[in-house]
Chain A
C-alpha cells in the first residue's frame, strides 16, 4: 500500500502517522514504520517536482486492497483516537488512491469498485462529523470531494453501460444528498426504466417530490423508511425541512385560538417533545404550559443559523446504525429499519 522508498523517507523524517507505526514504538524518538500498515500519502502535484515514478503507482488490485484496508481497519474499527483524526488520515490516503487512479486512467467496473466504498465513507463522515469545529473538519471540503467522487462514479456507470448491482444504491444516494438540485433530479428522470423504478430510486424520488411540493410532513414520514446510510446522505437537509414545517404551519394554523398539541407536532417532526419545543422557541413560537403550540404567522422568526445545532437531531438517525464495516464496504445489503 506504500512504496518502499516513501516509507523509508518518512521514517527517516519522522513523518509517519501513528496509524502507520509499529505498535509500541509511537513514543520513540524515531518510531518504526509498519510496512503492513503504511499507506502512500497524498502529494500535491507541483511544478518542479518529479513526476510520479511509475513503479510507485499501485495497480487497481492493490488500490482495492488499500481502500478496503482503510475502510475496514481504520475507519470502521473503534480507536482511542478521535474520529476526526481517523477521518483526516483516511481522507488523505484516499486522495492518494484517487491520484493513482487518475494517472492510470482506471475506468469501468474496476473504477466503480474503488469509488463505491469511498463515497459511502464520505457520506457517513458528513453525518458523523457534523458539528465538529472547523479546524478539525470542514463540511464544505468534504462536500466538494464527495460531489466529485459521486459524479465520477455515476459517469462510470453511464460509460460502462452494463448493469451494475450497486448502481441503484448510488443513484438513490446521489438524489438524497443533492435533494435540492434540479440537475440531479433531471439526471434521475433520464435513467433507464429498470433503474428508475427500483425501490431505492423510487423512494428517493418521492422524497424529492415531497421537497419540491413543499410538504415537509410527507418528506419526514417517507424519510423514516430510509436506511441508515441513506439518512446520512439526506440528513443535512433535514434541519431546513423541519424549520420549513414550522414556517408553513405558522401560517396555516395562524389564529387567535390556535392550540396545536406539542406531542403531535413532535411526531410530525420526528423528534422528541423536548427538542420539538426547543425548535419552536428558536422560531419564535410559544409553547404554553399545557404543551400546546401557539402557531402564529406574525410570531415566526427565522432561527439564527448558529442556534440550529443539527447534532441535536441526530439521535433518531443513529438508532438506525448497524455494523459500520459492513455498511461502508457492502452498502445496501441491510434491511431498511423503521
Chain B
C-alpha cells in the first residue's frame, strides 16, 4: 500500500466500487489506512487522473481525499477543508456508501479537533468554530440517513447511531451551550425501529452520552439506567471507557441510592480514588465532604460533576442529624443541630438557617416529624423517623 502508484490506487477504488465492496472502499478513503503515507498519492492536482479512471461523483470525492499532503504537513485546517468536500458527497444517494460515510465523517471530526487546537495556538478564529462546522455537515449526513427509504437490508438508517455518536462527541466538546442539539438526534433514534439492533459498541457509546445528557438535565433516574447499561455492556478490555462511564455513574448512583456506595476495590480498580473521601463523607461527615470537594475540585469541575456532588450535601445533613437522634429521645433541641454543624466547622450558619435545613429535610421526606418553634425543638415520629433513603425517588 505504501508503494503503489496513483493509477494502481485508483484502479483498486474503481474495482471496489464496481464490486460493491463498501468496506474495502471505505478503507481506501480512510486516514487510518496506510495508503495515506504513500508519497506517490500526495498530489497537488489529482483531479485529472481521477476523472480518467473514476465516474462521478467518485472522481471529485477521491480527488479531494487525495489532497493528503495537507495531513502529511500537519496542516489540519487545510486537511479539514478537503475533508469537508469528501463528506459533502455523502448526500448523494449511492448504495453501500455507509461504510464510506462512517470512515470519512470520523476523519472529519478528528481533523476538526486538530484544526481547532492549531487555530487556538495561533490565536485565530473563535473557539468551537471548526467543530460547529463539522457538526453541521454531520447533521446533513444524519438527515440523509434518517430519511432513507431503502429496504432494511440496504437502509442508510443503519448509519444513524454512528453519526449520532460522532455528533454527541462534538456537542459535548462544545459543551453546555450546544447540548440541546442532542435532543432531535435522541428523538430520531428513539422512534426508529432499529434502535435495539445496532452493534453493542455503538449502543454503549450512545447510552453513555444519552446518560450524560440526562444527568445534565437533572433526570437522574433515566441517567442511572443509561449509564448502567453502558457500564455493564462495555467491553471488559476497555478499561479507559469503563472508567469514563463510572465517573458519571457513581455520582448519580450516590444521589439516587444513597445506601449504595462504591466499594474501595472498585475505586482502586478504575483509578477513581477522588470519590473515596466523598463516599465516606456522605455518611454524615460534613467537614470531610467539604474538604473532599475542595481537594478534587479541579477534577470534578472538569468532568462536569461538581454541581451534582454538591447535591449530596442534603443527604449528608440528613445522615449527620440522624446520628444525633439515635439517642433514645424523639425530641431534640434545635441548638443541638447548630452545635453539630459548628463542630463540622460550618461557619456562617445561624439558628434560623438550621431551622430551614431541618424544615427542608422534613419537606423532602428525609425526616418524619415537625419543628416546634415555641419549644425550639425538633419532634420526630416515634416510628421510623428517618425513612430509608432508597425509598425516596
Chain A interfacial positions (CB closer than 8 Å to B): 159, 182-183, 185-187, 189-190, 209, 212-218, 221, 245, 247-249, 251-255, 257-261, 264, 268
Contact = CB atoms under 8 A, between A and B. Distances in A.
B370 A183 contact: no
Nearest to A181: B176
A213 B313 contact: yes
B310 A212 contact: yes
Interface string B353-370: 101111110110000001
A254 B126 CA distance: 55
Interface stretch (B5-13, B81-89, B254-262, B300-308): B300-308
A44 B372 CA distance: 61
B307 A215 contact: no
A260 B370 CA distance: 13
A251 B373 CA distance: 13
Nearest to B218: A182
A246 B281 CA distance: 31
B293 to A, nearest CB: 11
A189 B308 CA distance: 13
B352 A189 contact: no
Given A214-B360, A215-B360, A252 B314 contact: no
A214 B350 CA distance: 16
Contacts of B307: 182, 185-186, 189, 212
A260 B373 contact: yes
Contact of B371 (A182, A185, A216, A253): A253
B372 A218 contact: no
A221 B358 CA distance: 17
Contacts of A213: 310, 313-314, 357, 360
Contacts of A259: 373-374
Given A183-B177, A213-B314, A259-B373, A252 B352 contact: no
Nearest to B297: A189
B371 A268 contact: no
Contact of B353 (A217, A251, A260, A261): A217
A187 B371 contact: no
Give the interface residue-count category, chain B. Answer: 20 to 34
A212 B126 CA distance: 33
B228 to A, nearest CB: 23
Interface string B165-203: 000000000001100000000000000000000000000
Per DSSP, chain A at the interface is helix
Contacts of B311: 212
Given A183-B176, A253-B373, A159 B360 contact: no
Given A186-B304, A252-B363, A215 B310 contact: no
Interface in B311-368: 311, 313-314, 349-350, 352-353, 355-360, 362-363
Nearest to A161: B123
Contacts of B362: 251-252
Contacts, number: 83
Given A217-B353, A252-B362, 16 more contacts: A182-B307, A183-B176, A183-B177, A185-B307, A186-B304, A189-B307, A212-B311, A213-B310, A213-B360, A215-B360, A221-B352, A249-B359, A251-B362, A251-B363, A252-B356, A258-B373
Interface in B255-304: 301, 304
Given A186-B176, A213-B313, A214-B360, A221 B353 contact: yes
Contacts of A216: 356
A135 B309 CA distance: 44
B299 to A, nearest CB: 12
Q: Which residue among B304, B349, B355, B358 has the maximum number of chain A CB atoms within 10 Å of its CB?
A: B355
Given A159-B126, A253-B370, A258-B373, A189 B356 contact: no
7 contacts: A183-B176, A217-B353, A221-B352, A252-B363, A253-B370, A260-B373, A264-B373
Contact of B359 (A212, A248, A255): A248
Interface in B104-134: 126
Nearest to A259: B374
A252 B359 CA distance: 4
Interface string B216-230: 101000000000000
A326 B218 CA distance: 41
Contacts of B374: 257, 259
A268 B353 CA distance: 10
Contacts of A209: 310
Contacts of A159: 126
A249 B370 CA distance: 10
A258 B356 CA distance: 16
B306 A189 contact: yes
A247 B310 CA distance: 23
Given A186-B304, A247-B363, A258-B373, A252 B358 contact: yes
A217 B370 CA distance: 18
Nearest to A185: B307
